[in-house]
Amino acid sequence: MPEAAAAQGAVLAFDFGEKRIGVAVGETTLRQAHPLTVIKGEANAERFAAIAALIREWQPVHLVVGMPLSLDGEPHAMSARCTRFANQLRGRFALPVDYAEERLSSFEAGEFLRESGHDARSARQHIDAVAAQIILQSYFDSRPAA
């Protein structure tokens, strides 16, 4: 059951990774996702400081975390890490957090960037933010319009 209420406003989405977190932003009324940034580093304090700054700037009404599943739809080790990350977001920022399936989002983001003319090096800099965009757009597309 989705946790986020029907509140109107900004939504931040996260493509969680152990080394990088892609971030996208969208608005519930427009239902259009945009890549925002990539948070780099493995230290939790730095990651959550960067997320706090984004939350202050965008004032989201809720958050979305990509949930990785295996190709057969089953959770795996990274799924548990994403659940922990979502719980930390919920606890630190007192915002509702939803999940969106992220199967193949990084692959799709890489394809999109290559088709847009990015070389491998350039694509690597943006892939996590574009993956977060894909996650957020699929979240918007899977929900009925308000």
Please report, in tens digits, the pLDDT of each residue of the chain (146 residues total). Answer: 344 446 889 999 999 988 889 999 999 999 999 999 999 987 889 999 999 999 999 999 999 999 887 667 676 777 889 899 999 999 999 999 999 887 655 655 556 556 666 555 655 666 788 889 999 999 998 887 76
**Domain segments of the chain: what residues?**
10-142
Give yes or no for a contact between 88 and 48, defined as CB atoms under 8 angstroms apart: yes
**C-alpha dihedral sign at 103, 107, 113, 115:** negative
CB atoms closer than 10 angstroms to residue 93? 17
Phi, psi of 42 (to 5 degrees): -110, -10
Instruction: Report the alpha-carbon distance of residue 101 to residue 115 in Å, rounded.
Output: 23
Q: Yes or no: is domain 10-142 CATH 3.40.140.10? A: no
